[in-house]
Amino acid sequence: MQTIEEVNIRTVRQEDIERVSILEQASFNDPYPSYFLSELARDNPDTFLVLTLNNEIVAYGVVDHWEDHDHLISIAVRPDSRRKGLGEALLVELEKRLSKERALKLEVRQSNLAAIQLYSKRGFTKTGVAEGYYGDGEDAIIMEKRLVKEALLES
């Protein structure tokens, strides 16, 4: 018998931060502290999203609005839920919520080939390298995508 998994993407709630923080720690060598995740949630109520699978948070993504561009701070998918399209689903939903005609920028570990492949597939291009960006000295690939919203046809 096959189980139907219910996937839902919604905005983060303050009570989600502990689960998001655990997910962050499971996903990255240099995780963001929970107080920073809490600040991001407060400052970006429309672009801090969680993805739930059967009501359990298995992924999150957050875009912060900087003065001259939007910045993808993080996308994380729980290790046992990776390679199922969940990160891409989050990225697509985040893009829908962003302002038109603004660049969306990000940094990604040069060793994170799965993420680089996803970003390239979604239209991001490499614009540079930040040497020694991460705490362990690894370089970051800087990527950017210009978002263009479809104009609504007037009737």
Low-confidence ranges of the chain (pLDDT < 50): 153-155
Q: What is the pLDDT of residue 2?
A: 56
> Tell me: the pLDDT tens digits for 122-150?
999 999 999 999 989 999 999 999 877 65
Q: DSSP class of residue 80?
A: G
Q: What is the mean pLDDT of the chain?
A: 91
Residues 6+ apart with CB under 8 A from 14: 38, 41, 42
- Active-site residue, 119 included: yes
Q: What is the pLDDT of residue 1?
A: 56
pTM greater than 0.75: yes
| Terminal C-alpha separation, the chain | 49
> Tell me, what amino acid is at 33?
P
Q: Which of 24, 32, 60, 119 is catalytic?
A: 119
d(Cα 3, Cα 121) in Å, to the nearest integer?
Answer: 30
Q: Which of 107, 131, 134, 150 is catalytic?
A: 107
Q: What is the pLDDT of residue 62?
A: 97
Q: What is the pLDDT of residue 100?
A: 73
Q: What is the pLDDT of residue 3?
A: 64
- Active-site residue, 107 included: yes
Q: What is the pLDDT of residue 150?
A: 58
